[in-house]
Each structure stands twice: as C-alpha cells, then as structure tokens.
Amino acid sequence: MIYPSKKDLWIVAVILPISLLPLGIGIFLLSLVVVQAAPLFALIPGLILTVVGWLFLWPMFSTTYEITSTDLSVHFGPLRLRFPLDAIADVIP
C-alpha cells in the first residue's frame, strides 16, 4: 500500500515561493530566447533556474511511503530508500 506524505501549511508556504520564483524566471528567460528577444546565451541561466525551481518542487509533490511484507520504501524526489521491516526497532509518532 502506498501512502502520500503529510504536507504542513507552513512548509508549503515556504517552499512554493522559493521554488516558483526561479522556475518562473527560468521559463521567462527561455521564452525570451525562443522568440529571439534575448540573446542565445540567456538560454543557460534560463535552464539552470528552471531546473533549480523544479528540484525544489519535485520532493514536495512526489514523497510517498510504501509498506510491503518485507520492506519500507521511501520515495523522496530523486531518492529511493528501502528499509527492511526487521531492522526497524522502534517507531515514535
């Protein structure tokens, strides 16, 4: 069974502006290069800002937990972690 992670309002309020600002600026720069209103070298900062903004958003929307009969799998953005259930000694809320 797969469970989505809990997202508190305060963390969403912090992460969204931090990620949407570089993402928006990056997409804006890329669109200026496409319509030839900006020089071609603006493509590099546009790509970097777009990737950085996406990397902040990716873990927030893709974090899930899966409990199988033998493992606890945690998916956090690009990271995939597996913990054997036998190795978990204590769980604290």
Helices (H), 1-93: 9-34, 43-62
* pLDDT the model gives residue 64: 93
10-69 confidence digits (pLDDT tens): 988 999 999 999 999 999 999 999 998 888 888 999 999 999 999 989 988 889 999 999
Give the domain ranges of the chain.
Answer: 2-63
State how far Cα 19 lies from the chain centre: 9
Per DSSP, the three-state class of 38 is coil
Residue 22: C-alpha distances to residues 47, 52, 80, 87 (Å): 10, 7, 26, 40
Contact 28, 8 (CB under 8 A): no
Distance CA 24, CA 10 (A): 21
pTM of the predicted model, to two decimals? Answer: 0.72
